[in-house]
Amino acid sequence: MIDELPEEMRALLREEPVPDWAPPMLATLTEKRFSDPQWIFETKFDGERCLAFRDGDRVRLRSRNRHLLNGTYPELVDALGTQGPSRFVVDGEIVAFRGRHTSFARLQARMGITDPQRARATGIAVFYYLFDLLHLEGKAVTALPLIWRKQLLRDAFEFRDPLRYTPHRVKDGEEAYRAACQHGDEGVIAKLADARYEGRRSLNWLKFKCVHDQEFVIGGYTEPNGSRVGLGALLVGYYRGPDLVYAGKVGTGFDAAALRSLHQRLSAIESDTSPFTRGPGHPAGVHWVHPKLVAQVAFTEWTRDGKLRHPRYRGLRTDKNPTQVVRETADAPT
């Protein structure tokens, strides 16, 4: 595989042991849609980002904030441990399906579980879509162009469930985006074909989103009304420098189980004061909480005064540090 690379590609390789950690490359949101033969276009999955590290018999799954996921997805550990290469680092997305669509809400039943037996007992099948390769058999391959890394990835691994290769389309980004939105998918990730792997947010990877959604920090919740259980709405925000900026209330998208679970977790971290430095004041009936939990929220648009229009709760994120949650701005890496 590596030996079959052209000489100019082999010159870009670097010897290294399997690293303990490698920060993931992140895509930048854009409102532009384009087609370009120098770019490839992949499906945007609705799941949990994961980097997998194997060094001999040792396999580690890490979330984007370095949480160990071995107990959450033991079947993926097993599958990666039987691959031909014994030393590698791969990047990809862990997903669960509802029908033909990847579903973050369905994956929620696995996220946070740390006992392998409990994880398997959920009965929720998960799949790991690999889309990049950072290390292979003692060589760092991050300096290779993306299209060569993907070729190495496809050649080095046996892709059978639960491991899947992430296919891509060349050039036709606008058609890929239209097809994704028509099929009800999350969107498309556009990637510059000759770009190296950078462990940061980059303009060489771009997000074409069919729907607006992002993470928000939970700063409080309201009392439930009528027959509703647990809580009424979440008060959410994002960081702008040291300030936690209020973005509005999220009152839909919950089922009864989510309401009860959220109330249990939030009541354990209640605070006497608001965490928002730019926020809603002190409305009656609000319980403030320490800003420790992150929610994924879908919405139609931002209002002129910086609030979410028609927000809908999609689940908790355990793979992102609250202090890293900022307002996503098109075409501006953060």
Task: Annotate 45-110 with three-state secondary structure.
Answer: CCCEEEEEEEECCEEEEECCCCCECCCCCHHHHHHHHCCCCCEEEEEEEEECEECCEECHHHHCCC
| pLDDT tens series, the chain, 334 aa | 898 999 999 999 999 999 999 999 999 999 999 999 999 999 999 999 999 999 999 999 999 999 999 999 999 999 999 999 999 999 999 999 999 999 999 999 999 899 999 999 999 999 999 999 999 999 999 999 999 999 999 999 999 999 999 999 999 999 999 999 999 899 999 999 999 999 999 999 999 999 889 999 999 999 998 889 999 999 999 999 999 999 999 999 999 999 999 999 999 999 999 999 988 877 888 999 999 999 999 998 999 999 999 999 999 998 889 999 999 987 655 4
Note the pLDDT tens digit of each residue in 299-311: 989 999 999 999 9
To the query of whether residue 249 is one of the catalytic residues in this protein, the response is no
Entry field: residues in the chain: 334
pLDDT value, residue 333:
53
- Cβ atoms 247, 307 nearer than 8 A: yes
Question: pTM above the 0.95 mark?
Answer: no
Place of tokens 């904030």: 65
How confident is the model at residue 280, as a pLDDT?
A: 86
> Which residues 6+ apart lie within 8 Å of 120 measured at CB?
74, 75
- pLDDT at res. 284: 82
The whole-number pLDDT of residue 334 equals 44
219 within 8 A of 275, measured Cβ to Cβ: yes
Domains identified in the chain and CATH numbers: 2-209 (3.30.470.30), 212-324 (2.40.50.140)
Other C-beta atoms closer than 10 Å to the C-beta of 7 total 6
- Res 332: pLDDT: 53
> Alpha-carbon distance 308 to 248, whole Å?
6
Active-site position among 32, 44, 150, 249: 44
